[in-house]
C-alpha cells in the first residue's frame, strides 16, 4: 500500500511516531507498518509511504459471529492503545478508517527503518526494527505470500485489523482542551468522542448479527455512546460480555453483505438506542440490506 502525504502534515508525524521502535513492536498498535519512505522529487512537499499490503476490512465479507467479535476486539484494543499514548481524532465512525492485513503472519522486518530517519524526531529512530510479530504469528507465519481475497477464509487464517485514517489525528497535550483552537464539541474530551463514534459503528455492525448477540452488547453500546466510557473501560466491558456468550453462538452465520463500506455514521447528542441516532456523512453505494434495529432498540 502506498500513501502520499505532505511532509509538513500532522498525519505524517502521527504515522511516524506510531512507527517508532518502541511503539511499533507493541501488538496492540493498530497503525500500519511503514516499510519505507520515499521522496520522489526533492523539490516536492510530498512524501510517499510504502506500507504493508492491506485490504478493505470486510473484504472478503465476515461470515460468522466469531469474525465480527474478533474485529470488535482488535479495534477496541487499538483505540485503547492510541488513547493510552494520547492520540485522538481517529474518525472511528467511518468504516473506511479500517483495513485488514490478510498476510499478517510476519511483521515489517524487511522494511528499511533507516529510511524513516529524516522524518523521525527522536533518537529512538536510530535503531533498526528487529521485526514485529503479531499476536497470531505462530498460526500463520508461513502465509506471507499474496493471498487471493476471493478465496480467503477468515475461519482458517487469523487476520489483523489496522486504523488507516490519521488525517484528523493529533497527539493531545495537557491543556489542549482549554485552547480556543480546539472545537467546542471536543474540548471536554477528544478521546470520548472517538469512543462514541466507535460505539455508533459497532452498533450498526451488530444489526447484521443474531438478535441474541445484539441484546448481549446493548450495555456496551449505551456505555460507549451515552455513558461516557473511555476506550479501556469499553474494551474491558466488551471482553466481559463476549466471554458470557455461549460457545455455540460464535459459529452462527451473519447476514452477509452489509459490511458498512457505504456509509459512515456519527452518534447524535440525543443518545443511543433511539433508532435514529445516525447521520450519514457520505454515501458510496448500498449493499441492499435494511438494518434490523429491533434487538438494539430500547
User: What is the CATH number for 281?
Assistant: 1.10.510
Quick one: 157 and 227 in the same domain?
Answer: yes
Quick one: 136 and 263 in the same domain?
Answer: no
Q: Which run of H or E residues covers position 225? A: helix 218-225
Residue 263 forms beta bridges with which residues?
Answer: 283
Residue 173's pLDDT is what? 78
Angstrom distance (rounded) from CA 107 to CA 133: 5
Quick one: 73 and 121 in the same domain?
Answer: no
Q: Looking at the domain assignment, is residue 227 inside a domain?
A: yes
Residue with cell 477464509: 153
**Could you tell me how far CA 286 lies from the centroid of its own chain?**
22
Angstrom distance (rounded) from CA 211 to CA 72: 17
Q: Looking at the domain assignment, is residue 283 inside a domain?
A: yes
* Mean pLDDT lowest among 36-45, 55-64, 165-174, 206-215: 36-45
Residue 171 forms beta bridges with which residues?
Answer: 87
Among 93, 126, 145, give the residue marking a domain's end.
145
Quick one: 249 and 135 in the same domain?
Answer: no
pTM: 0.71
Q: Looking at the domain assignment, is residue 207 inside a domain?
A: yes
The pLDDT confidence band at residue 140, using thresholds 50, 70 and 90, is very low
What mean pLDDT is predicted for residues 116-134?
A: 35
Quick one: 202 and 288 in the same domain?
Answer: yes
Q: Looking at the domain assignment, is residue 6 inside a domain?
A: yes
Angstrom distance (rounded) from CA 165 to CA 114: 24
Quick one: 187 and 218 in the same domain?
Answer: yes
Quick one: 170 and 119 in the same domain?
Answer: no
Q: Looking at the domain assignment, is residue 13 inside a domain?
A: yes
Quick one: 129 and 197 in the same domain?
Answer: no
Q: Looking at the domain assignment, is residue 161 inside a domain?
A: yes
- Can you give the residue range of the structural domain that contains 237? 56-103+149-298
Quick one: 186 and 237 in the same domain?
Answer: yes
Quick one: 126 and 227 in the same domain?
Answer: no
Angstrom distance (rounded) from CA 244 to CA 224: 19
Residue 31 has pLDDT above 90, yes or no: yes
Q: Looking at the domain assignment, is residue 108 inside a domain?
A: no
* Mean pLDDT lowest among 57-66, 179-188, 199-208, 234-243: 179-188
Q: Looking at the domain assignment, is residue 291 inside a domain?
A: yes
Quick one: 125 and 240 in the same domain?
Answer: no
Number of domains in the chain: 2
Angstrom distance (rounded) from CA 31 to CA 87: 11
The pLDDT confidence band at residue 175, using thresholds 50, 70 and 90, is low
Quick one: 128 and 248 in the same domain?
Answer: no
Amino acid at each position: 500500500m502506498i500513501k502520499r502525504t505532505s511532509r509538513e502534515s500532522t498525519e505524517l508525524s502521527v504515522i511516524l511516531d506510531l512507527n517508532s521502535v518502541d511503539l511499533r513492536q507493541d501488538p496492540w498498535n493498530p497503525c500500519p507498518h511503514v516499510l519505507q519512505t520515499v521522496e520522489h522529487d526533492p523539490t516536492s512537499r510530498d512524501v510517499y509511504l510504502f506500507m504493508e499490503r492491506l485490504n478493505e476490512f470486510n473484504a472478503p465479507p465476515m461470515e460468522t459471529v466469531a469474525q465480527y467479535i474478533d474485529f470488535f476486539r482488535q479495534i477496541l484494543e487499538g483505540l485503547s492503545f492510541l488513547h493510552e499514548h494520547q492520540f485522538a481524532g481517529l474518525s472511528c465512525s467511518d468504516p473506511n478508517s479500517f483495513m485488514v492485513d490478510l498476510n499478517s503472519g510476519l511483521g515489517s522486518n524487511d522494511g528499511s527503518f533507516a529510511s524513516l530517519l529524516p522524518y523521525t524526531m527522536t533518537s529512538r529512530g536510530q535503531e533498526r526494527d528487529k521485526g514485529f510479530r503479531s499476536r497470531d504469528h505462530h498460526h500463520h507465519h508461513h502465509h506471507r505470500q499474496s493471498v487471493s481475497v476471493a478465496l480467503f477464509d477468515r475461519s482458517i487464517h487469523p487476520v489483523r485489523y489496522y486504523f488507516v485514517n490519521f488525517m484528523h489525528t493529533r497527539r493531545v497535550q495537557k491543556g489542549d482542551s482549554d485552547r480556543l483552537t480546539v472545537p467546542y464539541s471536543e474540548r471536554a474530551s477528544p478521546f470520548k468522542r472517538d469512543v462514541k463514534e466507535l460505539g455508533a459503528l459497532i452498533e450498526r455492525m451488530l444489526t447484521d448479527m443474531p438478535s441474541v448477540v445484539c441484546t448481549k452488547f446493548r450495555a456496551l453500546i449505551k456505555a460507549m455512546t451515552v455513558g461516557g466510557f473511555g476506550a479501556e473501560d469499553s474494551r474491558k466491558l466488551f471482553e466481559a460480555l463476549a466471554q458470557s456468550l455461549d460457545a455455540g453462538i460464535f459459529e452462527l452465520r451473519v447476514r452477509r453483505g452489509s459490511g458498512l463500506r457505504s456509509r459512515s455514521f456519527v452518534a447524535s447528542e440525543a443518545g443511543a438506542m433511539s433508532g435514529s441516532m445516525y447521520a450519514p456523512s457520505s454515501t458510496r453505494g448500498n449493499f441492499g440490506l435494511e438494518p434490523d434495529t429491533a434487538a438494539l432498540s430500547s
